[in-house]
Chain A
Amino acid sequence: MKRILFFLCFFLCSAGVAAIETPTQFIQNTVDSVISVLTDERYAAPEAQDEKYTQLAQIVDDFFDAQELSRRALGQYWRLFTPDQQNEFQTLFLDLIKQVYLKKSITYSGEKVLYNQEMLKSDLLAEVATTLIADATNTSIIYYMIRPTPSTPWKVYDVSVENVSLIKNYRSQFQSILQNNPPEKLLAILREKTNE
């Protein structure tokens, strides 16, 4: 009986652990799904491009943490936004980041991704360092991840390419806009940008 209980426990525990992806698994699964769509023959035809884009958008839907992205991108200006403006900003900015990410993905031409290192900063923060190997160059890409509790899935809040953080870069631009303009102006620019 004891032995059965032990096995049961062991089984349940390992199942529990397996249910939540490690940071590297999370990145790898998403990247693999994106690549599988990009290399799928069914989406190669010109008339299948819209369908391909929809598929890709679905995959990256749960990839980014909209609130974390937005708070970091706005920095001290976050507090100047009303709750409604904050919500709208989150939606628009997430759209923009997804667009940027997908635009880069679409240019995929057989590059390989190496998963070099995973760093757990705490139960709730992690980094995964990867290298994108193209024909001529190797590019270092680091994904920064966060989760609200240890039992929730990871989400990405920043990506740095060759040690240049995407969110810090947007923050510097938003700061330069918000120094002389009200939040509504930034939202208007974002609306225009994401509708392009």
Chain B
Amino acid sequence: MNNRLLLLGVLICTVLLMSGCAGKKHSSPSEPALSTDVQTETYEEDEGDSQPDALEGMNRKVFSLNDFFLTYAFTPLNTVYTGFFSPDMRNGFSNFYTNLTFPARFVNALLQGKFVKMGQETASFALNTVFGMGGFFKVTRNMDALHASPEDFGQTLAFYGLGHGSYFVLPVAGPSSLRDTCGLLVDALLLHPLAWLQAGAPYRVPMTVHEAGNTISASLPTYNAIKADSFDHYTSLKDIYFQHRTSLEGQ
């Protein structure tokens, strides 16, 4: 297995645990939607504290590279890809991979003691796998009782009080934080069924690449819309990332 990568992940996590705990501030950031005292909350609030970006210089460089990659390398490929596969097919792939990563959501719900969520995830996984052709069709889409916000290891770390550390832009994968990057490594290397396959298994690499490509392809229109509507694309995406993570942590 990827022993070296694993070791790297554990190492980063340890460093973070030792240094990054200070980042957590519990002024109920989990409920951006439900502010009661609007006057004081909204007018004077500064996002700087809750959105640490100690690595901004490097992040902006990686961000520009990613943007260049998306615009000039990925977009042409994507035109071919979307021309070949219908939206229904691409959505089916997306459903399939989401269903496949059930173990990460289940284990992370367990680690946070969210038992209702474990039940919802298990039931969704069973129904979609059996009646949705291995997860290709999401038969539980309109079953509201089974909908749970997805858990990941980054949220588990947050649950136990670890702060983001700093915003961190990953090559290709894009917005993340130091903490969530550790989470991503744990989820991808320990809890992803494709990582359980033998290193030489023929489907492992192509499926991982396809999963990533299909995901980026699905988010490309949103990415472009945000780019067009923003004044400072980098800051806009950073804010969206942190708002999104805060909302997930609160659920």
- Our verdict on whether A and B bind, yes or no, reads yes
Is there contact, CB below 8 Å, between A76 and B239?
A: no
Is there contact, CB below 8 Å, between B45 and A162?
A: no
- A177 contacts B by Cβ under 8 Å: yes
Q: Which among B38, B87, B244 is the interface contact of A163 at CB below 8 angstroms?
A: B244
Is there contact, CB below 8 Å, between B36 and A175?
A: no
Is there contact, CB below 8 Å, between B47 and A165?
A: no
- B230 contacts A by Cβ under 8 Å: yes
| Cα(A72)–Cα(B39), bound, Å | 9
CB distance from B89 to the nearest CB of A (A): 11
| Cα(A169)–Cα(B230), bound, Å | 9
CB distance from B125 to the nearest CB of A (A): 19
Is there contact, CB below 8 Å, between B236 and A172?
A: yes
Task: Give the total of A residues in contact with B, Cβ under 8 Å.
Answer: 32
Is there contact, CB below 8 Å, between B45 and A75?
A: yes
Is there contact, CB below 8 Å, between A164 and B240?
A: yes
Is there contact, CB below 8 Å, between B33 and A172?
A: no
- The segment out of A2-10, A13-21, A134-142 that lies at the interface is A134-142
- A26 contacts B by Cβ under 8 Å: no
* Contact of A136 with B91 at beta-carbon distance under 8 Å, contacts A75-B43, A75-B46, A78-B43 already known: yes
User: A137-165 interface mask toward B, CB cutoff 8 Å, 1 = contact, 0 = none?
Assistant: 01000100010000000000000101111
Closest to A104 in B: B225
* Contact of A127 with B231 at beta-carbon distance under 8 Å, contacts A72-B42, A76-B46, A135-B87 already known: no
Is there contact, CB below 8 Å, between B232 and A169?
A: no
Residues from chain B with Cβ under 8 Å of A138 in the complex: 141
Task: Give the total of B residues in contact with A, Cβ under 8 Å.
Answer: 28
CB distance from B30 to the nearest CB of A (A): 10
Residues from chain A with Cβ under 8 Å of B33 in the complex: 127, 142, 160, 163, 165
Is there contact, CB below 8 Å, between A176 and B38?
A: no
Q: Which among B48, B230, B247 is the interface contact of A164 at CB below 8 angstroms?
A: B247
Is there contact, CB below 8 Å, between B238 and A76?
A: no
Is there contact, CB below 8 Å, between B47 and A175?
A: yes
Residues from chain B with Cβ under 8 Å of A168 in the complex: 32, 47, 239, 243
Is there contact, CB below 8 Å, between B239 and A173?
A: yes
Tell me the chain B residues, 200-251 only, with Cβ under 8 Å from chain A. Answer: 229-232, 235-236, 238-240, 243-244, 247
Closest to B242 in A: A172
Residues from chain A with Cβ under 8 Å of B238 in the complex: 172
Is there contact, CB below 8 Å, between A100 and B235?
A: no
Residues from chain A with Cβ under 8 Å of B47 in the complex: 168, 171-172, 175
* Contact of A175 with B46 at beta-carbon distance under 8 Å, contacts A160-B33, A168-B243 already known: yes
* Contact of A164 with B87 at beta-carbon distance under 8 Å, contacts A173-B232, A176-B232 already known: no
CB distance from B79 to the nearest CB of A (A): 19
| Cα(A100)–Cα(B33), bound, Å | 21
* Residues on B facing A (Cβ under 8 Å): 32-33, 36, 38, 42-48, 51, 87-88, 91, 141, 229-232, 235-236, 238-240, 243-244, 247
User: Can you add 16 more A-B contacts, CB < 8 Å, to A125-B38, A164-B240, A171-B47?
Assistant: A71-B43, A72-B42, A121-B36, A121-B38, A127-B33, A146-B38, A163-B32, A163-B244, A163-B247, A164-B244, A168-B32, A168-B47, A169-B240, A173-B236, A173-B239, A176-B232
Q: List 8 A-B contacts (CB under 8 A).
A: A121-B36, A135-B87, A136-B91, A160-B33, A163-B33, A164-B244, A172-B238, A172-B239
The 4 closest A-B pairs by CB, nearest first: A163-B247, A172-B239, A136-B91, A173-B232
* Residues on A facing B (Cβ under 8 Å): 71-72, 75-76, 78, 100, 103, 121, 125, 127, 135-136, 138, 142, 146, 160, 162-165, 168-177, 189, 193
